């Protein structure tokens, strides 16, 4: 083990207390600290004169404090004015609301660095709430940094000041720089004209010319993306090498019958995707595909084609969903699609241990059931399949723990697709699903009308309810979604139960209204969904349980209460519950001020766009990669340096290089890939398991 893996607490200057603080910055080892790169640099010999600062522009400046003045207006309201000089002119700094600890940093005669947008105050330049750094600091004066002009600026945490961080970084490099080893082979360094790893790291921390370090930053971003892509490439080629999938024959018995029974023409995109499935399934290789398509693009039907192809070859087909509601929904729509093929037996496998379930499992084991749909109930140990030939999995299972136990049942490598309920931005798909082939339905069925989307303040709810009334009079149905099930003392949000009561008693007394949420018993939920589908319910008040999959073409109004609280992909998914028939559909986003800038941006995107791929890109941009799938998605690579939105070009480059490399040298055993071999098998090989389905 190299010294770089040593616990950070043993580094000179750290110790128990500071090491705990550093953990908050994800710094656990010496190496983590060395890879904690500056987020910016300041130049304390900044050549700027105050008279050169430009109005309305973001500027930084180093000057001497000539005045510190505190004004107290009330107990909480105060103002701090600090004046800086460059020896000729004055720059005014102002803060509103500040604490004593903040005030205490300022002293006449001290040198400070400031940065912010220049405005004007009585004819002189001013910055309100600038970023600052006091350069006359004991810690700094005593350190290596005292003579440097350019100083690095780091992300910090409370208790670790900038000068402490600088000191620790310096110590780490002084003691351990020689332990830094290269992890990219010479030919790749040359291809990109990258500097060696040690030099690049030193430059990033200690540069005196911040304009020259662009390439070195790129180097570390590339590294991260490249190793992940190597891993994905190995997963993909590893699968393909096995070559032990089933080789089906397109017998066209059940599949063709389904095609002829459809009340509509498949879109070209659907046809293309079916061809892609058929090609994989009739070849020796095991299919491993991600199926992407916008809400309502018709993913279910193409999935059923694949199911039937396996079944006409004598195999069983499975579908695993994240929720029971969705399993039931699929059960219903698949049964519908196959209603003229009664020889195909379909079952919904639920949790529990009833007599019915025991009998069902027996039938599944004997192969008397052809299509089995269920949640993770499917992968319980006591469920045995006669011969699973095809498996469709919802995206949410991609990284679940369940996936590995499913393996025990997959004794004959069924062909496999992941269905993604919402489109996934390309850059994310390449990092998370990058080992899979991808099929995309990029075309909606014809005659789909745009869903007219608008937003209203909560005090305009009655206007929206009038519009709902109009649609109900035409025989249509509506959804109303609330963020909570029950009233909560902690958060002041409209909940489904209260809204349901209110609508029933006061607003729509003559309509049939029902409540649906995740805490209800399954048979209750079934009953309600069934009645809504039959048109016996006019308005369904629900939580986001209806988010995925629900398909009721007669419902044409979607009201989302507290729309400001939902993420973009979720809003789009909810909106996708309407617009499934040929009627004009409406989505009303009801918002409860105050609404953040970001919230407003989300709402505007919803109004402008109906395109799920575009919305997903925006969502990723706004929320960042960590939050896109929610927190449980442990398998998403966490990048220290890369940002897959900003760096998507580089991601593509790294991907092509990695895939070509692994295709030629799967085990990384060529001489020229020696370094990669060492690094990969030490640091990344373990993670392949996450992807090994
Ligand atoms: P997704 O799962 O992609 O959101 P579904 O498969 O549930 O979409 O299909 C949505 C609706 O569109 C269903 O009612 C389905 O019957 C219908 N549909 C699917 N394909 C077509 C098509 N080619 N033409 C017309 N309607 C279609
Ligand atoms: Mg669907």
**Atom of ligand 1 at shortest range from CA of 293:** 3
Per-residue pLDDT band at 411 (split at 50, 70, 90) = low
Q: What is the pLDDT of residue 643?
A: 87
Beta strands in 400-484 (DSSP E): 415-419, 437-441, 451-457, 477-481
Identify the CA nearest to 152 among candidates 136, 169, 134: 169
Asked whether the beta carbons of 85 and 138 are under 8 A apart, the reply is no
Cα(266) to centroid of ligand 1, in Å?
9
Is the whole model's pTM more than 0.85, yes or no? no
pLDDT at 394 over 80: no
Q: What is the pLDDT of residue 331?
A: 92
pLDDT per position as a tens digit, 141-170: 888 988 898 999 999 988 898 889 999 999
Per-residue pLDDT band at 278 (split at 50, 70, 90) = very high
**Atom of ligand 1 at shortest range from CA of 270:** 23
Weakest-pLDDT range from 389-403, 425-439, 572-586, 591-605: 389-403
Per-residue pLDDT band at 435 (split at 50, 70, 90) = confident
pLDDT at 131 over 70: yes
Q: What is the pLDDT of residue 693?
A: 54
pLDDT at 401 over 60: no
pLDDT at 527 over 50: yes
Q: How far apart are CA 435 and CA 437, in angstroms?
A: 7
CB-based contacts of 424: which residues, under 8 Å, 6+ apart? Answer: 290, 292, 395, 432, 433, 616
Cα–Cα distances in Å, from 118 out to 45, 115, 542, 591? 20, 9, 50, 35
- What angle do helix axes 324-337 and 522-533 make, rounded to 10 degrees? 40
Mean of pLDDT values over 93-109: 87
- pLDDT winner (highest mean) among 36-45, 112-121, 283-292, 300-309: 300-309
Q: How far apart are CA 510 and CA 472, in angstroms?
A: 11
* Closest CA to ligand 1's atom 5: 298
Q: What is the pLDDT of residue 396?
A: 60
pLDDT per position as a tens digit, 625-660: 666 655 444 455 678 899 888 898 999 999 999 999
Q: How far apart are CA 371 and CA 388, in angstroms?
A: 9
Q: What is the pLDDT of residue 440?
A: 93
To the nearest whole percent, how much of the chain has pLDDT over 70?
94
Cα(374) to centroid of ligand 2, in Å?
14
Mean of pLDDT values over 679-687: 89
Per-residue pLDDT band at 549 (split at 50, 70, 90) = low
Per-residue pLDDT band at 205 (split at 50, 70, 90) = very high
Q: Is the CB of 611 under 6 A from ligand 1?
A: no
Q: How far apart are CA 29 and CA 41, in angstroms?
A: 24
Mean of pLDDT values over 510-527: 89
Cα(421) to centroid of ligand 2, in Å?
7
Higher pLDDT, 488 or 1: 488
Per-residue pLDDT band at 47 (split at 50, 70, 90) = low
401's tokens: 């723990």
Weakest-pLDDT range from 128-137, 500-509, 622-631, 666-675: 622-631
**Atom of ligand 1 at shortest range from CA of 581:** 14
Higher pLDDT, 376 or 499: 499
To the nearest whole percent, how much of the chain has pLDDT over 90?
56
Q: How far apart are CA 562 and CA 599, in angstroms?
A: 11
Q: Which DSSP string corresponds to 609-630?
A: ---HHHHHHHHHHHH-TTTTT-
Q: Is the CB of 533 under 6 A from ligand 1?
A: no
Q: Is the CB of 666 under 6 A from ligand 1?
A: no
Q: How far apart are CA 39 and CA 154, in angstroms?
A: 5
Q: Is the CB of 4 under 6 A from ligand 1?
A: no
Q: How far apart are CA 303 and CA 416, in angstroms?
A: 10
pLDDT at 506 over 80: yes
* Closest CA to ligand 1's atom 4: 296
Q: Is the CB of 267 under 6 A from ligand 1?
A: yes
Cα(264) to centroid of ligand 1, in Å?
10
Cis preceding linkage at 594, omega within 30: yes
**Atom of ligand 1 at shortest range from CA of 294:** 3
Q: Is 463 helix (H, G, I), strand (E, B) or coil?
A: helix
- The 555-561 sheet, strands edge to edge: 451-457, 585-591, 555-561, 477-481, 539-542, 513-516
User: In whole numbers, what is the pLDDT of the chain averaged over residues?
Assistant: 88
* Closest CA to ligand 1's atom 2: 299
Mean of pLDDT values over 418-446: 86
pLDDT per position as a tens digit, 209-259: 999 999 999 999 999 999 999 999 998 888 777 767 789 999 988 999 999
Weakest-pLDDT range from 246-250, 548-552, 566-570: 548-552
Q: Is the CB of 270 under 6 A from ligand 1?
A: yes
Per-residue pLDDT band at 405 (split at 50, 70, 90) = very low
Cα(22) to centroid of ligand 1, in Å?
52
Residue 149 has what DSSP assignment? S
Cα–Cα distances in Å, from 210 out to 133, 140, 487? 18, 20, 54
Identify the CA nearest to 514 among candidates 541, 495, 550: 541
Tell me whether strands 111-121 and 131-134 are parallel, antiparallel or unpaired: antiparallel
Q: Is the CB of 292 under 6 A from ligand 1?
A: no
pLDDT at 317 over 90: yes
Among 298, 330, 337, name the best residue to mutate to test ligand 1's pocket (greatest count of ligand atoms within 8 A of Cβ).
Answer: 298
Identify the CA nearest to 654 among candidates 235, 193, 226, 236: 226
Q: How far apart are CA 499 and CA 479, in angstroms?
A: 12
Cα(370) to centroid of ligand 1, in Å?
23
Residue 78 has what DSSP assignment? E
Q: What share of the chain is helix, strand, coil (3-state, %, to 5)?
A: 45, 20, 35
Residue 674 has what DSSP assignment? H
pLDDT at 505 over 50: yes
- The 316-320 sheet, strands edge to edge: 346-349, 371-374, 316-320, 388-394, 415-419, 288-293, 437-441
For residue 673, the tally of other CB atoms under 10 A from its CB is 20
Beta strands in 146-186 (DSSP E): 150-153
Cα(606) to centroid of ligand 1, in Å?
22
Q: What is the pLDDT of residue 627?
A: 61
Asked whether the beta carbons of 636 and 629 are under 8 A apart, the reply is yes
Locus of tokens 């916008």: 294
* Closest CA to ligand 1's atom 13: 298
């Amino acid at each position: 083990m190299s010294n770089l893996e040593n616990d950070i607490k043993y580094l000179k200057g750290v110790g128990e207390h500071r090491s705990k603080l550093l953990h908050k910055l994800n710094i656990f080892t010496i190496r983590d600290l060395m890879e904690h790169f500056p987020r910016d640099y300041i130049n304390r010999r900044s050549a700027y004169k105050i008279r050169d600062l430009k109005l309305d522009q973001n500027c930084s400046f180093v000057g001497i404090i000539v005045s510190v003045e505190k004004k107290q207006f009330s107990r909480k309201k105060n103002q701090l004015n600090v004046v800086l000089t460059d020896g000729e002119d004055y720059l005014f700094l102002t803060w509103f609301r500040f604490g004593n600890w903040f005030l205490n940093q300022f002293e006449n005669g001290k040198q400070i660095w400031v940065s912010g947008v220049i405005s004007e105050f009585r004819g002189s330049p001013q910055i309100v709430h600038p970023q600052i750094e006091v350069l006359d600091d004991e810690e700094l004066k005593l350190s290596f940094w005292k003579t440097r002009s350019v100083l690095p600026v780091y992300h910090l945490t409370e208790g670790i000041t900038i000068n402490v961080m600088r000191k620790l970084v310096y110590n780490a490099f002084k003691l351990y720089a020689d332990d830094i080893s290269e992890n990219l082979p010479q030919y790749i360094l040359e291809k990109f004209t990258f500097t060696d790893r040690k030099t690049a790291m030193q430059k990033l921390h200690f540069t005196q010319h911040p304009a020259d370090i662009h390439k070195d930053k790129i180097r570390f971003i590339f590294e991260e993306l490249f190793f992940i892509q190597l891993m994905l490439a190995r997963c993909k080629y590893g699968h393909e090498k096995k070559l032990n999938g089933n080789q089906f024959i397109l017998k066209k018995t059940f599949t063709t019958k389904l095609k002829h029974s459809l009340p509509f023409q498949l879109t070209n995109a659907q046809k293309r995707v079916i061809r892609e499935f058929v090609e994989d399934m009739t070849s020796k290789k095991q299919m491993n595909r991600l199926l992407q398509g916008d809400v309502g693009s018709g993913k279910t039907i193409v999935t059923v084609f694949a199911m039937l192809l396996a079944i006409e070859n004598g195999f069983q087909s499975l579908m695993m969903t994240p929720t029971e509601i969705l399993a039931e929904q699929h059960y219903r729509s698949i049964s519908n699609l196959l209603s003229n093929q009664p020889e195909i037996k379909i079952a919904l496998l639920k949790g529990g241990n009833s007599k019915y379930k025991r009998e069902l499992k027996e039938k599944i084991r004997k192969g008397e059931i052809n299509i089995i749909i269920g949640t993770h109930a499917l992968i319980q140990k006591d469920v045995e399949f006669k011969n699973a030939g095809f498996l469709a999995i919802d995206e949410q299972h991609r990284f679940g723990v369940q996936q590995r136990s499913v393996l025990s049942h997959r004794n004959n490598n069924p062909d496999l697709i992941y269905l993604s309920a919402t489109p996934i931005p390309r850059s994310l798909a390449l990092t998370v699903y990058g080992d899979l082939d991808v099929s995309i339905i990029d075309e909606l069925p014809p005659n789909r009308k745009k869903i007219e989307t608008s937003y209203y303040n909560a005090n305009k709810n009655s206007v929206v309810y009038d519009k709902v009334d109009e649609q109900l009079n035409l025989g249509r149905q509506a959804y109303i979604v609330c963020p909570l099930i029950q009233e909560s003392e902690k958060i002041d949000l409209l909940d489904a139960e209260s809204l349901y009561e209110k609508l029933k008693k006061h607003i729509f007394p003559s309509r049939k209204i029902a409540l649906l949420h995740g805490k209800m018993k399954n048979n209750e939920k079934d009953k309600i969904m069934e009645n809504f589908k039959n048109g016996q319910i006019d308005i369904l008040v629900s939580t986001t349980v209806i988010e995925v999959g629900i398909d009721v073409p007669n419902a044409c109004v979607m009201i989302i209460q507290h729309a400001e609280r939902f993420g973009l992909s979720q809003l789009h998914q909810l909106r996708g519950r309407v617009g499934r028939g040929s009627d004009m559909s409406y989505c009303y986003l009801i918002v409860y001020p105050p609404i953040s800038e970001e919230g407003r941006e989300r709402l505007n995107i919803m109004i402008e766009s109906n395109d799920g791929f575009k919305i997903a890109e925006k969502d990723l941009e706004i929320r960042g990669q960590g939050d896109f799938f929610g927190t449980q998605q442990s398998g998403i690579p966490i990048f220290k340096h890369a940002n897959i939105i900003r760096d998507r070009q580089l991601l593509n480059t790294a991907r092509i290089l990695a895939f070509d490399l692994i295709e030629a040298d799967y085990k990384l055993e060529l001489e020229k890939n020696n370094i990669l071999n060492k690094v990969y098998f030490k640091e990344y090989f373990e993670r392949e398991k996450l992807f090994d389905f």
